[in-house]
A and B are shown apart, each in its own frame.
Chain A
Amino acid sequence: MDQASLTDSGTQCDFSLLVDGLTLRLTAIGEWTLSTVGNIDQRLRDAVAPLEYEDVDFDFEGVTELDTAGAYILARAIRCTPDICFPFNLSGGSRGQQVLMRAAADASMGRAPKQSRQWYDTLVRMGEATERFFEEAFDTFAFFGQFISIFFRQLLTPHTIRWKSVVAHIEDVGLNAAPIIMTLSFFVGAVIAYMGANILASLGFQVFMVELIGISVLREFAVIITAILLAGRSDSAFTAQIGAMKMRQEIDAMQVIGLDRFETLVIPRAIACIVSAPVLTFLAMIAGMGGGLMVAWFVVDGVSPTLFFQRMRETVEIRHFWVGLAKAPVFALIIAVIGCRQGLAVTGSVESLGTRTTKSVVQAIFCVIAVDAMFALVLYEMGV
């Protein structure tokens, strides 16, 4: 015989235990509900753990209320092996309470306590992230290849291209982006002019700021600003648009109807980007030079607009302009393809739409800058 009886003032539920042979008598009193059982859980577990018994007799005569939480905690007293639970009896409970106890016993049966293995989990997650990186890279290249083959097939049969859609996207990607890109480029041009003027003035070569502005804006900044703006503006929009369509099974519906997702979604966006980007880059060049000119004219002494243009014609070769402009369609293609691919990779959940959009922008900017570096290397070796 072993008895462990506890009474605690303040709690609205209580229990007493009595072991008789291999049977435990558990007498519960009071209200065993979600709001009351928080404290008693551990106590009951500690009280039951050292006892030796097999069957349990529950006495619910004094129970005023029982819900699933109470039943679950009481059912912990039932001894279980992974396969079977020892039987239990219930006296004094309503039929509903019996059903509840059975459900609770069922639920707690055979659930081994989980162990957390932090180190192991960290390593696993690192491994998974590495694997994901390579998978992403592989998938992006595969998608790019698929895109290229369909793109050239469509270029050979131009009437299959959805021109209406292309024009609509050009408005969004090109026209609507022009003001913001020009404004930013203007500021960047002005900043370069300021910095150049300061540093070059200390050397006495203030007039070289024209070359500095001309070459840096034409060759790099105009196209990079355009590309980054496109990545932030259009690439994320592509991912979100296509991803939302994917979530609502619109893409599946299109496939069933016989519309190719590349032809209807990816190609028009890509063409819109390829067409818009050089124009935007050209506008960005003009705005960037304008910013430089403004600073030279109003802030720096000794560099008049006439001198600015004269030096520009004499010293800044036209090849810088062509280099900048040539990079634009390549960046545009990268941005469009990454945006569309990430959109099509969205699965059902809202969260995946969010992560894919983030990934899309990050990857697009990363790729643009990486490819720009490759351009610089190759063009330097070529002497262009």
Chain B
Amino acid sequence: MEIDRNLPPVEARDLKSQFGENVIHEHLNFRLEPGEIIGVVGGSGSGKTVLMNTLLGLKEPDGGDVYYFGYNRSELSFDQRQSINNQMGVLFQGGALFSSMTVRQNIMLPLKEHTDLPLPLMRELADMKIHMVGLPAHAATLYPSDLSGGMKKRAGLARSLALDPKLLFLDEPTAGLDPIGASAFDRLILDLREAMNLTVLLITHDLDTLFTTCDRVAVLVDKHIAIADTLPKVMEYNHPWVQEYFGGPRARAALEAGNG
């Protein structure tokens, strides 16, 4: 199927999600523009991960529609869904690497499943991805249990980039990293966006990440995306939660650091 890169990679229209009686999202409208990095913020339990899972197709929406590159998901055939899925990469919170495989095998797995490249070339491409995410070359033969938290995230990112996706989802990419590692990861995301022409949706609580990497910030509050705009405009938005979030001492420090 033809994929038009100029259309929004993901769009949610009037989305509704609920677990039993508990409504998580209602009338949620949200759209990613091609080539942007958008950060989703929201309080704990506001349903950020549920939103990501819904956009990824891991969870069916309980109302409303999800569009990929202009295609309505509910109207796609299985094969079409698959080829859309191959355009998406995900970095889960803990990396979600397969623990019985080495880092290189983890990265080669999507290639083996979805391409018919010769095996040596796959191996080399996997090594290239390992290099691109800033892991040392010897990490290729290590198992996930031998990696530190930061290395696991990088390895997970390398696997999510294996098929050269157009769209990348990152769930709390810098959580659990030290500030140096976190800012290196922020830079890495910016570099990769430039090199691979990515559209990135990232869920984060890290204000530094929001300030340094995101083109737009979407605020998930009151069961819907209240505002999705550039950071200065979001910070002026008149909502108590938003004001508290960006008005706190941590946010001010991050803002000053970002400006300085």
Interface set of A (CB-CB < 8 Å, partner B): 33-35, 37-38, 41-42, 67-69, 72-73, 95-96, 99-100, 103-104, 106-108, 111, 347-352
Interface residues as binary, B177-216 with A (CB distance below 8 Å gives 1, 0 otherwise): 0000000000000010011110000000000000000000
Contact check, B194 vs A38: say whether CB atoms are below 8 A apart.
no
Contact check, A111 vs B99: say whether CB atoms are below 8 A apart.
no
Across-interface contacts of B121 in A (CB, < 8 A): 38, 41, 69, 73
Contact check, B132 vs A68: say whether CB atoms are below 8 A apart.
yes
Across-interface contacts of B111 in A (CB, < 8 A): 34
Across-interface contacts of B146 in A (CB, < 8 A): 348
25 A-B pairs in the complex with CB atoms less than 8 angstroms apart: A34-B111, A34-B115, A34-B117, A34-B164, A38-B117, A38-B121, A41-B117, A41-B118, A67-B164, A68-B128, A68-B196, A69-B164, A73-B121, A95-B194, A96-B195, A99-B194, A99-B195, A100-B196, A107-B131, A348-B145, A349-B145, A350-B99, A351-B100, A351-B143, A352-B145
Q: Give the residue name and chain of the B residue nearest to A69 (CB).
A: B125
Partner of A111, one of B127, B191, B197: B127
The complex places the Cα of A27 from the Cα of B136 at a distance, in Å, of 32
Across-interface contacts of A95 in B (CB, < 8 A): 194
The complex places the Cα of A107 from the Cα of B99 at a distance, in Å, of 25
Across-interface contacts of A349 in B (CB, < 8 A): 99-100, 143-145
Interface residues as binary, B141-154 with A (CB distance below 8 Å gives 1, 0 otherwise): 00111100000000
Across-interface contacts of A96 in B (CB, < 8 A): 194-197
Contact check, B164 vs A68: say whether CB atoms are below 8 A apart.
yes
Across-interface contacts of B191 in A (CB, < 8 A): 99
The complex places the Cα of A186 from the Cα of B137 at a distance, in Å, of 60
Contact check, B195 vs A111: say whether CB atoms are below 8 A apart.
no
The complex places the Cα of A99 from the Cα of B195 at a distance, in Å, of 5
Contact check, B118 vs A350: say whether CB atoms are below 8 A apart.
no
The complex places the Cα of A107 from the Cα of B128 at a distance, in Å, of 5
Contact check, B127 vs A34: say whether CB atoms are below 8 A apart.
no
A-B pairs with the 8 shortest C-beta distances?
Answer: A348-B145, A67-B164, A107-B128, A107-B131, A349-B145, A99-B195, A349-B99, A351-B100
Contact check, B129 vs A68: say whether CB atoms are below 8 A apart.
yes
Across-interface contacts of B143 in A (CB, < 8 A): 349, 351
Contact check, B195 vs A103: say whether CB atoms are below 8 A apart.
yes
A240 to chain B, nearest CB (A): 16
B215 to chain A, nearest CB (A): 16
Chain A CB within 8 A of B161 CB: yes
Q: Give the residue name and chain of the B residue nearest to A94 (CB).
A: B197
